[in-house]
Every structure is written in structure tokens, then in C-alpha cells.
Amino acid sequence: RAEFWCIVSGQCVLRVSPLEDEPKVNFMSERLIAGQIRTIDAGVAHQVKNDGDEPLVILEVQYGAPNERDIERLEDPYNRSE
């Protein structure tokens, strides 16, 4: 599935891998602030990190075929990986 993000409040760094076949390398980083929007294509590895002082609020809309099995935790300080 693809995702549409709107940054409602706060700021973050979005890391996106442009290579679908090698999602763990060559990440590109982009700073996002409140009011900005981004789309993330299906199958593209991505991570977000709140690097600001205020809470980060993201409105995320997923579209396409729903499939929670496509989630792969690349780095997770909360130990949510299986």
C-alpha cells in the first residue's frame, strides 16, 4: 500500500530509500515541518524521527491493498521487531 502523510504539528526527519530492491541502504533524508505533505509509494522503505522539542503529529492515509505483512522494522529502539 502507499501512504499519504500530512505533518499536522511538530517537525521530523523522514528517511526514504529510493531503491525498492535494497531498502536498507542509500536512504535520503528530508526535514518536514507542520503543513507539509508527502506521499510514499508502496514497497518503499521509510522511517520517521521526531527531532524537535514538541510532539510530532502526522495524519497518515494508506491507500491501495491493505497488507500489514509488508512492515519490516529496520531500526526500532522500542523492540517491536518480530
Per-residue pLDDT tens, the chain, 82 aa: give them.
Answer: 889 999 999 999 999 887 665 656 678 899 999 999 999 988 888 889 999 999 999 999 988 877 666 666 666 666 665 5
Residue 42: per-residue pLDDT: 83
The predicted structure's pLDDT at residue 47: 87
- Identify which of 17, 25, 61 has the alpha carbon closest to the alpha carbon of residue 43: 17
**Cell numbers placing 21:** 530492491
* pTM given for the model: 0.75
40 in Cβ contact with 54 (< 8 Å): no
Predicted confidence at residue 38, as pLDDT, reads 96
